[in-house]
Chain A
Amino acid sequence: QSALTQEASVSGTVGEKVTLSCTGNRNNIGSYGVGWYQQISHGPPKSVMFGNSLPSGIPDRFSASKSGTTASLTISGLQPEDEADYYCATWDFSLNARVFGGGTKLTVL
């Protein structure tokens, strides 16, 4: 069981806005920035968000926010190439380790 909880699956149509959530506790999300990672067809993961900052090369239809112990990744104007697994991750000071969510499978209909 993952320390961070994500939806197992989310779907949306092209052009739609979708939001993925990541729920933790005060030891992790409540205290540290959250990274978001995209993995397409079991290739290597790619970073799509560092806290609320976009890595170089990531389109600005990706955005992120955090409220208390829940972080969110929003994709506005969904594109077919956004279909992937998305993982959230952050540091946990009680575990003294990084923790990942179980991943959300995003399907673009």
Chain B
Amino acid sequence: EVQLLESGGGLVQPGGSLRLSCAASGFTFSNDAMTWVRQAPGKGLEYVSSITESGDITYYAESVKGRFTISRDNSKNTLYLQMNILRVEDTAKYYCVDTPRLNGHHFPANWGQGTLVTVSS
């Protein structure tokens, strides 16, 4: 069974930093791309960032480009999201999502429970 366990969320002041982690199990982590998706309170799902299977290519939403960095350690089956210069509007639950290649396309597939990030003074 695929399990994705996010951690590292919490309360941080504007301008501060946080590092999210996602521990993966139940599948071959290095075979799948990975994605971070967030959801602000009462709002819809918003793409944040994704990374290829080997970690050599990363992608970001325009809203986080230059502030967030996605990375992975395939030896530890762990995905990371380093978040710097945090803004109030970054307040959201952050989901780690396994993104395998299926029928020629990558699809976000299995979702973690999420970790809550609150940016407030």
Whose C-beta in chain B lies nearest to the C-beta of A42? B39
Choice from A32, A45, A95, A98 contacting B111 with Cβ under 8 Å: A45
Interface of A is mostly: strand
Cross-chain pair count, CB within 8 angstroms: 70
Q: Are B103 and A46 in contact (CB under 8 A)?
A: no
Please tell me which stretch of B14-22, B43-51, B69-77, B80-88 contacts chain A, meaning at least 4 of its Cβ atoms lie within 8 angstroms of it: B43-51
- Residues of B in contact, count (CB < 8 Å): 25
Given the known inter-chain contacts A97-B60, A97-B62, please indicate yes or no for A45 contacting B45, CB distance below 8 A. Answer: yes
Residues of A within 8 A of B44 (CB): 2, 85, 87, 100-103
Instruction: Give 1 or 0 for each of B82-111: 1 = CB within 8 Å of chain A CB.
Output: 000000000000010000001111111111
Interfacial residues, chain B to chain A (CB-CB below 8 A): 35, 37, 44-47, 50, 59-62, 95, 102-114
